[in-house]
Amino acid sequence: MTIKLGVIADDFTGATDIASLMVQNGWQVALLLSIPDDSTFIPHDVDAIIISLKSRSCPVDESIEQSLKACRWLRQKANCSRLFFKYCSTFDSTIKGNIGPVTDVLMDELQIDLCLICPALPINGRTVVYGYLFVNGQLLNESDMQYHPINPMKDSNLLRLMEQQSRGTAGLVDINCVRQGELSIRDRLCQLRCKGIRYAVVDTLLMDDLLLVAQAAHDMTLITGGSGLGGAIARYCSGGNSEKTSIKKLPLPRNRRMVILSGSCSVMTYRQVLEYKKIASTMELDIDKCINNPDYIHLLVDWIIQQPMKGLAPMLYTTRPPGVLKLTHNQYESFQVSKIIEQLFAQIANELRQKDFNTFIITGGETSGKVVQSLGINQVGIGAIIAHGVPWVYDLQSDCWLALKSGNFGEVDFFHYAQEIFHELGSNNE
Tell me: the pLDDT tens digits for 162-175? 999 999 999 999 99
pTM: predicted TM-score of the whole model, two decimal places: 0.88
In order of 20, 28, 164, 232, 250, the CA distances from 242 in angstroms are 12, 11, 39, 11, 19
User: Which superfamily, per CATH, for 258-425?
Assistant: Four-carbon acid sugar kinase, nucleotide binding domain (3.40.980.20)
Q: Which of the four pLDDT bands, split at 50, 70 and 90, describes residue 248?
A: very low
Q: Residue 333: is its pLDDT beyond 70? A: no
Q: Enumerate the CATH 3.40.50.10840 domain ranges in the chain, comma separated.
A: 5-238
Q: Enumerate the CATH 3.40.980.20 domain ranges in the chain, comma separated.
A: 258-425
In order of 92, 142, 201, 343, the CA distances from 119 in angstroms are 10, 18, 9, 29
The H or E element that residue 214 is part of is: helix 207-216
CA atoms of 71 and 28, how far apart (whole Å): 20
Q: Decide if 63 contacts 23 (C-beta within 8 A).
A: no
CATH node for 5-238: 3.40.50.10840
Q: How far apart are the first and last CA of the chain?
A: 31
Out of 189-198, 334-343, 355-364, 371-380, least confident range = 334-343
Residues comprising the chain, all counted:
430
pLDDT, mean of residues 255-273:
92
